[in-house]
Amino acid sequence: MIEEREAAMRDGKIIGYARVSTTEQHLEVQLEQLKAAGCSKIFSEKKSGVDAKRVQLASMLDYVREGDQVVCCKLDRIARSTQDLLNIVDVLTAKGVSFKILNINLDTGTPTGKLMLTMLGAIATFEREMMLERQREGIAKAKAQGKYKGRVPTARAKSAEVLQLLEQGKTKNAIAVTLGIGVASVYRIAKAARG
């Protein structure tokens, strides 16, 4: 089993992802670095990192197969937050794809890379818990002042887009990344549509 996985890793492709935030910025430097890293295919886009609809990122996540490796030049080129990075890496790991960031030499195909990713995950969990604690305090204060209205449901508002992407054959993971919603929400919307 281990030998089969190692053989699959040797046969995999190196896939690049490049992104700049504005149309005034240029992709050339990233594209050169990705080609030098051995990328046989590169997905690139000019899109803000905070934009949840990064079409080329979703296409890349759909494209990769077991044994492939995804490479990007810098962490902030592929992920807009630590949690976003972990979500992307979860999708890649589930598909048997490793991930490498050139400027910090993070490679999830190595034990050290896995350790670094685990540490990033721990930091993300801590940040999230701190944010939730501040949020709970703010909600309690707003409720006490009669100002709290609750949150607006985001996933349900995107039901039509989810169903359209499912009809196009996109994977549930790719849809979640594309629309900036949780995979569980995609499954719920698909289940509700089936009735």
| pTM given for the model | 0.61
Q: Where are the alpha helices (DSSP H) in the chain?
A: 2-11, 28-36, 55-63, 75-78, 82-94, 111-144, 159-167, 172-179, 183-194
The pLDDT, as a whole number, for residue 152 is 67
Q: Whose CA is closest to 110, among 120, 121, 122, 100?
A: 100
β-partners of residue 144 are none
CB 100 within 8 A of CB 67: no
pLDDT value for 9: 45
Per-residue pLDDT of the chain (195 residues; tens, 9 = 90+): 344 434 444 478 999 999 998 777 889 999 999 999 999 999 999 887 677 688 999 999 999 999 999 999 998 888 877 778 888 999 999 999 999 999 988 899 899 988 988 887 788 778 878 888 998 898 888 888 888 777 666 777 888 999 999 999 989 988 988 888 888 889 989 988 887
Residue 27: what residue type? L
Catalytic (active-site) positions: 21
The one-character DSSP state at 44 is: E
Give CA–CA dist 170/178, Å, rounded. 10
